[in-house]
Chain A
């Protein structure tokens, strides 16, 4: 079985992911645990940068499984996601076998006899040999199981969703010429979505639905702690507090966990021991990705820092 390291309990999931540097909230851990127990994919929704893709990576690293990633985009189709026939190889083989044709036909005298002969070889070119597996098929073929990450499913077309349904519910695909390919070991499937488009009910129904929002302050501190080990406790408290204040603003793009981690790295790199107006102003572009957002946040810096440090004192 795929479970090289069994997901014995929710706590085991939590600590296992933590060992990979992924601090999971209890709800995330429950989702991972359940997806293992009842063999269902997880559909992860939430704003960009809160660790949706990271979750898949962490699961793969923790359980020692290969991760296969399918990045979705508009126009993604069967040939790129599932499998393709190796036309060139098929052509090449026909060319090579041309000379053998006489033998194959075995001296059939009439056209009908020759055709009959050919029919017995008919399916050779549409066999496993000539299938080029794409990520989805690859995932099913992994003997030890794997983590299949279908990233940003909301970017793909609605038709593509329907293509996924068979895989998601039964871990199998049907290739018309070959028949049904079932998973050797059911992969752990993680789908991520930024809710750019509403996903179909059929897809949602096949998945556990997990929403990852911005983490609570305590949790985010732990995440930063695990990702940026060199950061001092005061600075960590202050910066996370500051980010939480920023998130209350009405911005185009709110800073998420990945930005928080980047910022923490930058602050450590600049050897800051605590937040002050200067350093925040200089590094705000790490946190905010739009000029308008930076402008909106700049006047608030001082008061946010004050608030953040006050929180630090009381907690």
Chain B
């Protein structure tokens, strides 16, 4: 049972519940008190000792149900083959039909009970249709292949092969080869059973992956996503990317919203100290310290949402707005041919709706940086104060229209910092209609920003300058 508990803890970690060794010890002590008899109480016990948030409780609850619905590995595979039973029954009629049309006689010649003795143990097992024996064999083979070590979905094939190998599939194949000439009907039945077996093993591996592999698989996926070019994210990955960006935002928030009392203390303020301690004849009992002046972060974000960079700016706006708790003064603008303020849209709507609305209003056009900068200068220049960090996100490709770099210069002069994030690589800046070199002279920082990781670093740097 102890072994089973450890496997459950591992499964819980897979489900995203952080179970530290100390917690698992607590859980084991608790389980020792309540026992295994009452499944509901056992479930509550785990929820109380292991899960530390509502989300974790939900994940752990699901994991528990999945895990303890089949407490022992043997039973688990029984269940598996039971479900497989149905699918086989589904495919049986077709096999029967086949038998009827092609080799009814051959079928009758090899009745079920007459299993030949010259085939391997696995073939015999399959032919005798002994479900419990088969599932025990699968369970044992799973153990031999250390199935609980499965981590990534890419490992499914390997584990299937390992399990089937351990069960003696090689011998089975030889048997089938042997029989195809001598006894085609039997060979066919064996082939059919083998397919069923493959299905069962595949299911067992999938379930093991579901139990043990989730976290690592997710980490790997996130790692890949983090470094994938934002502009080339496939539609099916967009949702995962959003989740990743939200997680990045949360991490930035945690890092930068910590209390910073200590850092704020600067040098000794001699004048105030003396005045304060006048009553003690100038003996400095109470010290007064100069406080470092710190600006409240203010961010103005200008996002190019024209076709070529739309997706990057999508994620960028999402990140900026998830960061609201650190930076409470954010104004966002979107432009392609014209520029408009989108702060309200982003704040009042869910991210998906907001993006859709922004795109429908200003998105996908061909970009006109000069015109958009002019719009900004005409209407919102006052939003920029000497405390503001202005972030421009775009590829600086203005379709050979007047870039109006003079406006960018004025923006740069008014603001604390002007940061340009460009999703294109440095290699192509300045080629074609790219105005990047001209703009770059007025920017405080210019960086490439094509992946989630670069996005995170860029925003992290911006927030850090205010700390």
Report A's interface with B, CB cutoff 8 A: 10, 26-27, 30-31, 33-34, 37-38, 40, 45, 157-158, 201, 204-205, 208-211
Q: Does more than half of chain B's interface fall in helix, strand or loop, or is it mixed?
A: helix
Chain A binder among B41-49, B169-177, B232-240: B41-49
Bitwise, B252-287 to A at CB < 8 A (1) or not (0) is 000000110000000000000000000000000000
Q: Contact at A30–B48, with CB atoms within 8 Å?
A: yes
Q: Contact at A30–B23, with CB atoms within 8 Å?
A: no
Q: Contact at A201–B52, with CB atoms within 8 Å?
A: yes
Given contacts A26-B41, A27-B48, A45-B54, 9 further A-B contacts (CB under 8 A): A26-B40, A27-B47, A34-B33, A38-B29, A157-B259, A209-B48, A209-B49, A209-B51, A211-B54
Interface residues on B, range: 20 to 34
Q: Does more than half of chain A's interface fall in helix, strand or loop, or is it mixed?
A: helix
B contact residues around A37 at 8 Å (CB):
29-30, 33
Report B's interface with A, CB cutoff 8 A: 20, 22-23, 26, 29-30, 33-34, 40-41, 44-45, 47-49, 51-54, 57, 258-259
B contact residues around A204 at 8 Å (CB):
52
Given A157-B259, A205-B20, A34:B48 Cβ within 8 A: yes
Q: In the bound complex, how far is the Cα of B47 from the Cα of A30, in angstroms?
A: 10
How far, in Å, is A56 (CB) from chain B's closest CB? 16
How far, in Å, is A203 (CB) from chain B's closest CB? 10
B259 and chain A: residue at smallest CB distance: A158
Q: In the bound complex, how far is the Cα of B48 from the Cα of A205, in angstroms?
A: 11
Question: A10, A204, A209, A211 — which one has the most chain B CB atoms within 10 A of its CB?
Answer: A209
A159 and chain B: residue at smallest CB distance: B259
Interface residue from B40, B49, B259 paired with A34 (Cβ < 8 Å): B49
A contact residues around B48 at 8 Å (CB):
27, 30-31, 34, 208-210
Q: List 6 A-B contacts (CB under 8 A).
A: A33-B33, A34-B34, A37-B30, A38-B29, A205-B52, A209-B48
A contact residues around B51 at 8 Å (CB):
209
Q: Contact at B259–A10, with CB atoms within 8 Å?
A: no
Question: B22, B49, B258, B259 — which one has the most chain A CB atoms within 10 A of its CB?
Answer: B49
How far, in Å, is B349 (CB) from chain A's closest CB? 15
Q: In the bound complex, how far is the Cα of B259 from the Cα of A201, in angstroms?
A: 17
A contact residues around B57 at 8 Å (CB):
209, 211
How far, in Å, is A267 (CB) from chain B's closest CB? 32
A contact residues around B49 at 8 Å (CB):
34, 208-209
Q: In the bound complex, how far is the Cα of B51 from the Cα of A30, in angstroms?
A: 15
B contact residues around A211 at 8 Å (CB):
54, 57
A contact residues around B53 at 8 Å (CB):
209
B contact residues around A40 at 8 Å (CB):
26
